[in-house]
Amino acid sequence: MARFTPDNLELAHEIISRYPRKKSAVIPLLHLGQEQDGYVTNEAMEHIAELTEVTAAEVIGTCTFYEMFKTHPVGKYVINVCTNISCQLNGGEELLEHLEETLDIRSGGTTADGMFTIEDYECLAACTEAPCMQVNYRYFHRISNDEVDGVLSDIRSGKLADTIPEHGVLQRVRQTIPAGKLAGIAPPETVVDAPVWMARNEPILAARAAAKAAEEAAAANKATEATEANEKGDA
């Protein structure tokens, strides 16, 4: 477990090629590593460091800063229960306790079968829908204890497999950028010409500029006419 598989390595190179600087690809590659192993392994971080030409210390620094990157094994389904104020008032803590009892683990722990990890979370930004929780970052709003039991059994039975992928999978349709739409892959300081996207916009900008110039010219004409009229009047 570990370094990128050959397929993922190819993908990693493609991801790196999207950015002007290799270092910019660190976060997408951390996601890739987490998708591969369910969490970000030290070996993956070392591999990312090699690929992006930074040190492993810089990669782990970035990785540990973000809550969504796990550096230790977690369950296939990570359940985040909000216990911040709005959810707390609406039963968030009871929800967490219920989960702890049902799954027989403490917050932060993982079930023995490796299915579930529960986390006590700060605000999930769904205060109007309290109490709320996420399973692998998919929301469940205004959820009751009974409904939680239903969600757990649905996950176990595979009923929710379509909506909730396993931990680490961000999306199942991978983004690809068509060759013609690349933003240009040179470091900004080395780019002499305008960026590619700017070239694409140039006709539009030119048209706008022309329209504006025409408008201004028309306005100026009017003004001149008016002045001339005034002058005539004065005379």
Does residue 31 sit in helix, strand or coil? Answer: helix
| Residue 61 or 108 with smaller CB distance to another protein | 61
| Residue 10 or 67 with smaller CB distance to another protein | 67
Residue 198 Rama label (left phi>0; alpha psi -120 to 50; beta): alpha
Contact call for residues 30 and 63 (beta carbons, < 8 A):
yes
Min dist CB 21 to another protein, Å, is 15
Q: Which residues does 60 contact at the CB level (< 8 Å), separation at least 6?
A: 42, 45, 71
Min dist CB 58 to another protein, Å, is 5
Min dist CB 40 to another protein, Å, is 12
What does residue 127 show for φ and ψ, rounded to 5 degrees? -60, -30
Does residue 83 sit in helix, strand or coil? Answer: coil
| Residue 41 or 76 with smaller CB distance to another protein | 41
- The rounded distance, in Å, linking the Cα atoms of 125 and 129 is 9
| Residue 4 or 69 with smaller CB distance to another protein | 69
Min dist CB 190 to another protein, Å, is 13
- Footprint on this chain of another protein (rule: CB under 8 A): 42, 45-46, 54-61, 64-67
Min dist CB 115 to another protein, Å, is 27
Q: Quickly tell me which residue has 């079930």 as its tokens.
A: 111
Host H or E run for residue 133: strand 133-135
| Residue 27 or 196 with smaller CB distance to another protein | 27
- The rounded distance, in Å, linking the Cα atoms of 162 and 172 is 10
